[in-house]
Structure 1
Amino acid sequence: MLRNILSIIDKNVVGFEGIMRIEGGEVNGATSGIGAETARVLAKRGVKIVMPARDLRKAARVKENIQKEHPKADIIVLEIDLSSFASIKKFCSEFLSLEIPLNILINNAGKFSQKLEFSEDKFEMTFATNYLGHFLLTELLLEKMIDTARQTGVEGRIVNVSSVIHSWVKKDHFDFNRMLQPKHYNATRAYAQSKLANIMHANELATQMKAIDANITINSVHPGIVKTGIIRDHKGIITDSMFFVASKLLKSTSQGASTTCYVALSAKMEGVSGRYFADCNESRCSALASDDSEAHKLWKQTRALIYKRLRTEIKS
């Protein structure tokens, strides 16, 4: 079934019983893997793509490859470091100055830091990149998305790329201050915590958008275990034979991008918000991920941190 869905996306970029009309979208983490494939699919649909990237050379190569396949693809590359609050603010300022519509925001960038390291803002790097960076980026672009939806009549969609690994996190290990500056670091746990936070962020924001009757949906997705740089980075810690066997069970990047594209593009997703998807179907996330009070608590803590660090007023 999944294979059929993927072929529909790849050949026609329609399917799913229709596709929504889109003018502009933003895909972060698009210089490789799932993000690059997602950008390719959106570009094939005719979406104007803004590609935030830390490595501008890699982004330029991705842009060139997409435009070789789709010469009319409209792609803008802007510099960003999602682990840096200052860089995110600079990117958002540059993006907003372009005065282009923003219908889709795909928070896809992923970081798996094998050892404890800190961002320039003094936060643990995996959590800073995967969660805090996406949170701030979304906050700073949310008003633009709401305005675009109001002016165009097209539903705005935010997609947070999470992971099934979020379910490994227990409540007693999900402490905001300890995640910011852990005393005892475990790389897998840090990654899982950041992906849990992505789901909780989506759920809380979905509640807020519904409360103000904004034409914006936000959902989270599990792309599957995909052959990306994160997997390749860990080849050294398992035997070659184990890696060979495991690699046969992994999804391709096109398969991994399918759920993101489905949630971002399908007309069947209209009005669906605050849900978690895997293999292009709604799925169940962990009890902690579904806890509305914990999600609201995390949102308040994160927003207070941003206020304090940036001393900037983020529109309520």
Structure 2
Amino acid sequence: MASKTSFALPQLLLIALSLLNLVSGGRVLQQTMPFKYHNGPLLTGRVSLNLIWYGQFTQSQKSIISDFVTSLSSSPKSQPQQPSVANWVNSIQKYYTLIKSKPNVQFYLGTQTLDQKYSLGKSLKSQQIQQIAAKAAAGSNQLGTAVNVVLTSSDVAVEGFCSSRCGTHGSLPAAKNYGNQKFTYIWVGNSETQCPGQCAWPFHQPIYGPQGPPLVAPNNDVGIDGMVINLATLLAGTATNPFGNGYYQGPATAPLEAATACPGIFGKGAYPGYAGNLLVDSATKASYNANGVNKRKFLLPALFDPASNSCSTLV
């Protein structure tokens, strides 16, 4: 029987503080543990990101995340404003180049499912998150080419949310008629009313650690802009370590992955409590480091570059 795997995205600022001794100059990770490829598959080819909206989201909130996902599939040429979300995705391709994997991964916006009536209630266990993801996968012919993304609204409590994690990615066995196949999933919660200081930093004053003024969110929504950061972080981990035997550092039960190996870093000069030197919109004063479709701006995490052993930022 196929096993299930799950990897949590711990509170960003707590990771940044705990790994202070690993960060030098805000960019280079002084490795005490090797960042290894463990010979397992990576996500390859065209991969659909299917969004499952659990709870109440406004149309504006859904548009922000949908535009981010759409920006992932756009070519750099179609995003003339630089740096772009497409540039960020291209950084993930370095993992594929190292192992000579072809084709590289190409994300695109897939189906969108609404669960506005909270079918499993407003207090969810981890198993119920998996159940929601599995329901979306049932009957799908995209198992190996899709990621089911469960997004929970700000009034939904999820086991471990805020206290130990901001989101999760993992894999689950498919329905019996699919044999030993697995499907991948991501869960991200909206922390706006529950714990923005843990899961929406740097757009909210941190609960712990160095205290600096919060940055202005690029889409004027602290919770959703924080979700974009966490979704990007988990997406990088899903692409490069989908089944627990891809790229990661440290123990398999608590791995540091492509983005979580660079906690709290968004621009050059970052250090714990300071996100780095970022671009600032002259009109809104919002901080960002990536341009997307529909003139969107986003803040995306640094990615660990396995070729140079450093945390690579867009700005």
- TM-score when normalising by structure 2: 0.32
Q: Which of the two has greater helix per residue?
A: 1
Higher relative contact order (CA 8 A, sep 6+): 2
TM-score (norm 1): 0.32
Q: Identify the structure with the greater strand proportion.
A: 2
